[in-house]
């Protein structure tokens, strides 16, 4: 997994509208990139809605929020619309960014071992360097935790 002080791995992925979004286009801004396992699941929905509700405060700080999962663009579109999200969610079906950030790992889900996306959030500074990592991010408090960090 990428760590604090590492250069953030650049990526170009399609958002919920099928438009390319490139991380390095946001150089000069602080960016929060959060990786989550799956659209429309209880924990991932709670996490996304937390960032939706905190997004005005994050924007006031000049922070861009990007969510990433391996779901399809069509899945993201429905999730985005149904939950009234106000930030881009990016489709990484080939798991290029997920793997570059070291987040495709063996996990235990309901007692069964398998491969999956490790829920993690990265705060990337204006120079493209990782300044904070929330490993195994809380679905309930991730956005609040990020805001608390940014306010400290």
Known catalytic residues?
44
Distance (Å, whole) CA 103 – CA 95: 9
The secondary structure of residue 40, as a DSSP letter, is T
Distance (Å, whole) CA 11 – CA 148: 27
Alpha-carbon dihedral of residues 58, 32, 132, 145, nearest 10 degrees?
Answer: 50
């Amino acid at each position: 997994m990428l760590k604090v002080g590492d250069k953030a791995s650049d990526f170009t992925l399609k958002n919920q509208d099928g438009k390319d979004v490139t991380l390095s286009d946001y150089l000069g801004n602080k960016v929060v990139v959060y990786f989550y396992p799956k659209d429309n699941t209880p924990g991932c929905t709670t996490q996304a809605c937390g960032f939706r509700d905190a997004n005005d405060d994050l924007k006031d700080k000049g922070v861009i929020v990007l969510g990433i999962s391996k779901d399809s663009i069509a899945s993201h579109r429905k999730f985005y619309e149904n939950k009234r999200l106000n930030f881009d969610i990016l489709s990484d079906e080939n798991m290029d960014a997920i793997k570059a950030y070291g987040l495709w790992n063996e996990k235990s889900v309901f007692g069964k071992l398998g491969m999956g996306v490790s829920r993690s959030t990265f705060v990337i500074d204006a120079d493209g360097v990782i300044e904070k990592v929330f490993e195994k991010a809380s679905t309930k408090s991730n956005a609040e935790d990020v805001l608390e960090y940014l306010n400290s």
